[in-house]
A and B are shown apart, each in its own frame.
Chain A
Amino acid sequence: MDKRESLIDQFSTFIRWREDRFQKWETDARLQRHMAQQLHSDHQGSSQYWVAYWYQHWQQSEAITLSRDHLYAYLQEPCYRVTAQLWSTYQNHKNLSLADLFSQGVLCFQKLLSNFNPVLNPNLAAYASFFLKWRILDELRRQDKSYGHTRWSLLLHSSPTRMRKALVSMGLTDTLLECHLQAWECYVERYQPVKIKQEGKIQPPPAEIWSQITADYNLVMPHPQDVDYIQKWVDTCGQAVFRYIAPADISINQALSSDGSQELMDVIPTLDSSGAEVDSPNDYGAIHSQILTWLKAEWQNLDIKEYRLNAHYRTIVALYYGQGQEQKAISQQLGINQSTVSRTLNKVKTILVDRFLAWSQDHLHMSLQVNDVEAINEAVSHWLWSICQTELGNKEGKP
């Protein structure tokens, strides 16, 4: 993948895939024109400024997705980098598709942005990398878990949400959809406690279980079915969930196909004339610095006894945020469980968010709502990273 250098490219191009590889950056004409127009009147040069700018405008009018789409374009690079890194790390496990993993990342863009707050943490690329890495890893973990299991087992371990989406993506709707789902539920109820394994693999249910499943189904559904239909439906469910890959966000594809007909941007009043209601994104830097200064002092004075933290907590944080070591390596180095490392990191963040909320009430000129807690939590990771990097004596900059 080629890194995008110009601001226009960063906020208006998307990845074009070919044979599961990055082919080139494809421009969305609508976004390109819009960005060019803004750059013409606002000569700010940093991508962090523009991230904050589009974020702000998107918050002001969520219905107009143009601002959000600029951010989606920007996110293509961090998403690709994370995907490529994970793909090469875990490629030996099985045949992974790079484009599929990338799509998994794209699916998270909306949630990612809803937890983002440029005032607290201006570095969207760093935050996105963190966020996407864990989401994609969750997906890999899920795939790995089901690998080597039969469909009968997968049927016992799929969430109703997933099953519903899988059946819908096969074209099932309304009554027939609910019939399939009910048959599957009856299968899970009856077969879960008595599942039969052969060489460790779960087998299809025997005839008498199918009869029971059918009897259960007929109890609760208005139109009774015979055993053959129930078996067929459950089988369809198995296939559906086995093949199901969540489709990536349609709006991105729509953005790519738009060709310049009556554009929404012709209708929106030019954004830079919206007046001084919003702080300039340049002000965000000041708040961010203020927070980091506070955190440095706070972190130095944190008392282990007060919080019953693991004795190694400073080392864990330094290794994780400072040196970027993985939890497993840290756990081996210190001779403790990986889950202990994970929980310690979690507890440190909780404590810091707690102290931040207390401190912010008097010192930060920002009124925080309960909805901000998620963004604060995400930001704490980045603050710790910043502090640990400077502690190491590295120049603070983009990762």
Chain B
Amino acid sequence: MLRPKVKPVLAYLVLIVPSSLIILGFLWLLITSFSTRVEGLQSLGWTLNNWRFLWESPFGPQYPSIWAVTLNTLVMSLIMTLIVVVVSSLTGYALSRMKFPGRKGFLSLTLILHAFPSVTLLIPIYFVLLQIAKIPLIGRDVPLLGGFGYNTIGGVALVMVAFQLPFGIWIMKGFFDNISWDMERSALIDGASRFKVWWQIIMPNIKPGIAALSIFSFLTAWNAYLIPLTFTAGRAGKSAVLSLYLQNFISESVMTEWNAVAAVGLFQLVPVVLFFLFTQEALLNIYGGGKKGGV
């Protein structure tokens, strides 16, 4: 057995040594984005050239500017977050509070869905989105979103919602499990509908859960790469998001400007780091708590 004094020191070492790799890596990224070349953490020449995408479009005027792309990313992340929260809380409520045949099976199923590799499903999902695009009104040409079909922000958001649902449903069910059902019961006896009870009585009581799931979903959506890459045509099209804009700088035919890639990457990272800093307190409510908890 280790002596009591040694243990905390050992614990801190386990935390600090790997943490130093992250610090080193991100320092390198920052220095690289402001340099022409680097050696280790040493810049071999400072420049602002890597950041010029901020004020001029690097691929020509016919492509959307970084700001249009940022707006797309924001819209997509917000839509995805909104749908994840609403759908997960509807389903989580039913799983936590209602009796129906197939309930246990459904809950296990939501977890098993997570075992379906996204890579497997990408090609068939492409065909599904092509079909959705044919539906009038919601398929395409919706302002801001584009719609919910192929090559639209809404469509990409919808696919990401599906992949986020297993997590969302389990988290929300945990929150509903922890609310006493007395309030709800009296409302039901008074003749309120299940939907009214859900919306007016239960939802206001799980605000911390809603906030936490929203933050987590938003961060996931902002950074999404594979799904937007697969389901939007043309990396610099009108539905491009930041992770695809970044992809434009990486080319197999011409020399990739890795320093510019670092700059665009940091541009994508900074807003969400700030967002995370200010919302971490709320995110830490993501575990519904209780003796057994829902998660």
Pairing of A with B: no
